[in-house]
Amino acid sequence: MAIKDYIRERFFPHIWCPGCGHGMVLNGLLRAIEKIGLDKNEIVMVSGIGCSARISGYVDFHTLHSIHGRALSFATGIKMSRPELKLIVPMGDGDALAIGGNHFIHAARRNMDMTAIIINNRIYGMTGGQHSPLSGYGTMSATSPYSNIDNDFDVVELSVAAGASFVGRTTTYHTKQMTDILGQAIIHKGFSVVEIMSQCPTYFGRKNRLGSAIDMLEGFRKNTTPIGSKAKQKDPDLIERGIFVRKKMPEYCDEYDKIIKRAMKGN
Amino acid sequence: MVEPKLKEHVINRNWCKGCGICVYFCPKKVLELDAGDKVVAKRPEDCLCCKLCEFRCPDLAIEIITDQESE
Ligand SMILES: Cc1ncc(C[n+]2csc(CCOP(=O)(O)OP(=O)(O)O)c2C)c(N)n1
Ligand code: SF4
């Protein structure tokens, strides 16, 4: 399998629990990169902290395992200095939208060319199952033992409102769609967000009595539907999958280059 | 297009964690977990080469090699 050329085999088997969605995202992402034919040396993967963030250790690209919530900030710095490189930033829901929420909305607003992947397992896996801003009302976690009273974000609506120029959503069950959307997001010039609904069987699954990883994957199949489907009209609770936004907008590094040129002329 | 023909299931027993995702989602029930909770191809003759197991494996532990794979 050619995707093996993209990983650091010496670090396998990986640390994720049996059935964890993070490995499925790694699998789909490697296939997307293989399909669009990127060279390893063109890619920089930047991650923060969390089970999900460990993904950067396993890929044989340029990689940076940075600090919690700030992966996009590190990525911004790299992109500003080396705009020819492709930035891929996988984040957990906590990493991206709890501690990293402010960085996330402003990165989206700037429209710098990079791909933010939000692996949404609705919990803090790494630290033992505390609730996240994506857990949602009524869910159980280590920090909401009598059930959570916080409402959750809608990652897609939040990203659209913050100004991302590409916004997609899929799940770990829908592997072909995952590979397809990730590929398109990486090719898109501008700030791309892909939400991947994923399973943490160890904490979110267990605390919410959702069964095994397999049962959770079946849940993604049953509870989601393609954008604009008839099923959605019948059952508004279904979560839509697909590409919600894809628009051409001025890209930040390009604009910055223009500013440099304008400033040089002024001298 | 000619249907791909199975050459073999390449299973990395060191990487497989026995989650059973491939076993459950295989449309032809080709795969099983053995006594050590590692996947084995029990009925390879039924394999459709759809590669759903390979695409879904969280551990990158199973690979379908067909006669159409270029070396
Ligand atoms: C500044 C800082 N605050 C808190 C932590 C502790 N911490 C480590 S990972 C994590 C959350 C992980 O959850 P998520 O980002 O959703 O990823 P997952 O583990 O579920 O993949 C937290 C709070 C930290 N490492 N650094
Ligand atoms: S704790 Fe949850 S998120 Fe972390 S590796 Fe295990 S299943 Fe995955």
| Count of domains forming chain B | 1
Q: Which domain does B60 fall in, by range?
A: 6-70
Look at chain A and count its residues. 267
Domain assignment present for B40: yes
Which regions in chain B score pLDDT beneath 50?
Answer: 71
Q: All domains of chain A, ordered by start, with CATH?
A: 3-265 (3.40.50.970)
pTM of this prediction exceeds 0.95: yes
B1 part of a folded domain: no
Residue to substitute in A14, A15, A20 for testing ligand 2 pocket (most ligand atoms within 8 angstroms of CB)? A20
Indicate the pLDDT class of residue A1, thresholds 50, 70 and 90: very low
| CA B55 – CA A180 distance, rounded (Å) | 13
CB proximity B24 to A under 8 Å? yes
For range A178-193, the mean pLDDT: 98
pLDDT at A267 over 80: no
Strands lying side by side in the sheet with A114-120: A62-65, A43-47, A86-92, A114-120, A191-197, A166-171, A239-246, A224-226
- B12 belongs to a structural domain: yes
Q: What is the mean pLDDT of the segment spanning A59-63?
A: 98
pLDDT one-digit tens code per residue, A98-148: 999 999 999 999 999 999 999 999 999 999 999 999 999 999 999 999 999
Assess whether the C-beta atom of A121 lies below 6 angstroms from ligand 2: yes
pLDDT value for B56: 98
**CATH code at position B28:** 3.30.70.20
Q: What is the mean pLDDT of chain A?
A: 97
Query: Would you say the CB of residue A124 lies under 6 angstroms from ligand 2?
Result: no
